[in-house]
Amino acid sequence: MADPSSFASPSCCLTRHLYLRCRVDFGARALRGAAAFTARAEREALRCLVLDTKDLQVFKVTVNGQDAKFVFGEKHPFKGTPLEITLPFELRRGQEAIVEISFESSPKSSALQWFSPEQTSGKKHPFLFSQCQATHCRAILPCQDTPAVKLTYYAEVPIPCYLIALVVGALESRKIGPRTLVWAEKELVDKSAYEFAEAEAMLKTAEDLAGPYIWGQYDLLVLPPSFPYGGMENPCLTFVTPTLLAGDRSLSNVIAHEISHSWTGNLVTNKTWEHFWLNEGHTVYLERRIGGRLFGEQFRHFQALGGWRDLQNTINTLGDKNPVTNLIPNLNEVDPDVAYSSVPYEKGFALLFYLEQLLGGPDVFIGFLKAYIQQFAYKSIVTEDWKKFLYSYFKDKVDVLDKVDWNLWFHAPGMPPVKPTYDMTLANACVALSQRWIKAKESDLGSFSSADLKEMSSHQLIEFLALLLLEAPLPVSHVQRMQQVYDFNAINNSEIRFRWLRLCIKSKWEEAIPLALKMATDQGRMKFTRPLFRDLYSFDKCRDLAVKTFLEHRASMHPVTSMLVGKDLKQDQ
């Protein structure tokens, strides 16, 4: 099947190996270098190779050392520009040639974010990081930018090109486990080492659940605050956001998530971005199984229920008829970055959790997951491959599987057709307290006190606020009283702070405006920045201020964040 997000045709000619040499020019904000691909003809009489590029300059192309003609095709608004290379000779099916391309990236590359020394923690050295998922590797170098193609590069790790990553900066490391270093600027490195100390316990648990960890080293690297995601599962070196540094290890589930990608995503990969749920749904499932092993099965169910709330919130925002809320969306002429949401994560997880309950429980289902990883290791697959394997693994339970409404799960927008069963033990306190606030009249506000939260973990506070957000807005008097008795403004845990500030803005409490703007701009994790800016934009009192603040900070934002917040605030250039 063709990948609607790429110009490349791997069914005609496949790139199998990349030898990349490049130089980082901080002055020009460019990467310059040469990419040499080993390309194999997949059909007879091949004379052409098409690669993805985005805002790149190409100076020269050679094939087995001979000069080759090349032209750029028509520029597409988000896919970039196809690079069409004419081979100087015909290749027969199965024959290989070395195609070498001299290139330079643009200062406005959507894959790269550049920092001057004064924008870093250390203030002395410049800093650069890349983020290629979903389709931004083409903004660093010409390539077949589709997860359908896995190639080795000269470190001999077969990866799809969205996992090519680089970081350049003044970094220090601390050893936190037998196969794990944590890297960061020196101002953050000790704090990071404390926060992520559970990495080895998580790795061991993941191996027990999913099979041996095949990548050798597992390092973590803490990026500047503008990094657009919670984490990025680059093999051997996971990139993470500093918003995880809560001081109490309470947000370490993101590390469990990125560790799990070592199996689901990096080892077994979605073939196109339409099947992104295969990467993310399975990874959330594994992440929560790790949490269940480390903190108990009630905790796993509690995290799963929190995911269901996140999905409800996302679908409220996007609309329950929106086709991007399908588990398998059609990405024909749709930018994968615009389609990105919690849907593939949480709707994908809900399907697996529902199947676990249908097919005999967690121990039975993990057997399937392990076998699935073995079956498709090193391959890129689509949902149909997964479903066929599910049916063959559970061949004695076909009657049960036939009761699943696959069409609704895969191809219908909105919430899933079935809600799995959740153990409510840890959630009940959150539900009870949120209901008290939702039903409270002005005269009841005196009945709340700081003792309400005494027994609650930070995970429960997140769930309590998530429940209130689903009911928002609350009267302003309620959020003011909540601040008086709970002092949420003093909490630095990013997940709590984010939901609290959203609740304040949705309830139109003007005192929260500067705090919400500060959180939206102090860090650039899209999960936080986009909803905060959207809520501020919807609040008439601060719409103009939200736009003005965005425009002032736009230049220091990650290119993808800037593009998407620009769309949210109707500031598209």
Q: What is the pLDDT of residues 418-455, one digit of tens each?
A: 999 999 999 999 999 999 999 999 999 999 999 999 99
Q: Taking Cα atoms as reference points, which of 63, 236, 42, 64 lies closest to residue 158?
A: 236
**Residue-level pLDDT at 156:** 52
Query: For residues 265 and 283, is the Cβ–Cβ distance under 8 A?
Result: yes
Given this model, what pLDDT does residue 154 score?
83
Identify which of 145, 12, 10, 164 has the alpha carbon closest to the alpha carbon of residue 80. Answer: 145
End-to-end Cα spacing for the chain: 34
Break the chain into its structural domains and give their ranges: 13-107+133-161, 172-260, 270-411, 428-568
pLDDT score for 210: 97
- Determine the Cα–Cα distance for residues 374 and 395; give it in Å rounded to an integer: 18
Give the confidence band of 192 by pLDDT, cuts at 50, 70, 90.
Answer: very high
Tokens of 122: 């250390």
Hey, which residues are catalytic here?
258, 345
pLDDT range class, residue 573, cuts 50, 70, 90: low
pLDDT value for 64: 95
| pTM for this predicted structure | 0.87
Percent of the chain with pLDDT strictly greater than 90: 89
Q: Which helix (H) or strand (E) holds 160?
A: strand 159-160
| DSSP code, position 264 | B
Q: How far is CA 562 from the centre of its chain?
A: 16
* Closest C-alpha among 153, 205, 349 to residue 357: 349
By CB atoms closer than 10 A (0-12, 13-18, 19+), residue 183 is buried
Confidence of residue 125 (pLDDT cuts 50, 70, 90): confident
DSSP 3-state assignment of 461?
helix
Could you give the C-alpha distances from 406 to 107, 139, 381, 417, 452, in angstroms and in order?
45, 37, 18, 10, 43
CATH of domain 172-260: 3.30.2010.30
pLDDT at 57 over 90: yes
- 3-state DSSP assignment of residue 76: strand
Residue 161 has pLDDT above 80, yes or no: no
CA distance 99 to 101: 7
* Integer Cα distance of 198 and 176 in angstroms: 8
Q: CA-CA distance, 486 to 563, in Å (whole number)?
A: 36
- Name residue 543's amino acid: R
CB 137 within 8 A of CB 93: no
pLDDT confidence band for 396 (50 / 70 / 90) = very high
Q: What is the pLDDT of residues 16-30, one digit of tens each?
A: 999 998 888 888 999
For residue 191, give every residue at least 6 positions away whose Cβ sits within 8 Å of its Cβ, in sequence order, or none. 245, 247
Same CATH topology for 172-260 and 428-568: the answer is no
Paired strand residues for 522: none
- Residue indicated by tokens 């971005």: 273
Q: Which H/E stretch holds residue 359? A: helix 343-359
Residue type, 65: G
Q: Is the pLDDT reported for residue 304 higher than 80? A: yes
* 101-111 mean pLDDT: 95
Give the pLDDT of residue 120.
85
Q: Which fold has domain 428-568?
A: 1.25.40
Angle between helix axes 494-506 and 513-522 (nearest 10 degrees) is: 140
For residue 86, which of 49, 45, 58, 51 has the smallest C-alpha distance?
49
Q: Calculate the average pLDDT of the chain.
A: 94
Cα 492 from Cα 488, distance rounded (Å): 9
Q: Is the dihedral of CA 51, 54, 60, 65 positive or negative?
A: negative
Q: What is the pLDDT of residue 157?
A: 53
User: Under CATH, what is the fold of the domain 270-411?
Assistant: Neutral Protease; domain 2 (1.10.390)
The residue-averaged pLDDT of 44-66 equals 96
**Residue 42 confidence (pLDDT) above 60:** yes
Rounded-to-integer distance, Cα 538 and Cα 521, Å: 17
Instruction: Say whether pLDDT at 458 is over 80.
Output: yes
pLDDT > 70: percent of the chain:
99
What's the confidence (pLDDT) of residue 155?
A: 58
pLDDT at position 293 is 95
What value does the CA radius of gyration of the chain take, rounded to a whole number of Å? 24
User: What CATH code would you report for 13-107+133-161?
Assistant: 2.60.40.1730
Q: What is the DSSP string of 374-430?
A: HHHTT-EE-HHHHHHHHHHHTGGGHHHHTTS-HHHHHH--SS-SSPPP---TTTHHH
In the chain, the amino acid numbered 67 is D
Looking at the predicted structure, is the pLDDT value of residue 1 above 90?
no
Confidence of residue 168 (pLDDT cuts 50, 70, 90): confident
Work out the average pLDDT over 474-493. Answer: 96
Q: Locate 164 and state its tokens.
A: 């090519």
Q: Are 539 and 505 in contact (CB under 8 A)?
A: yes
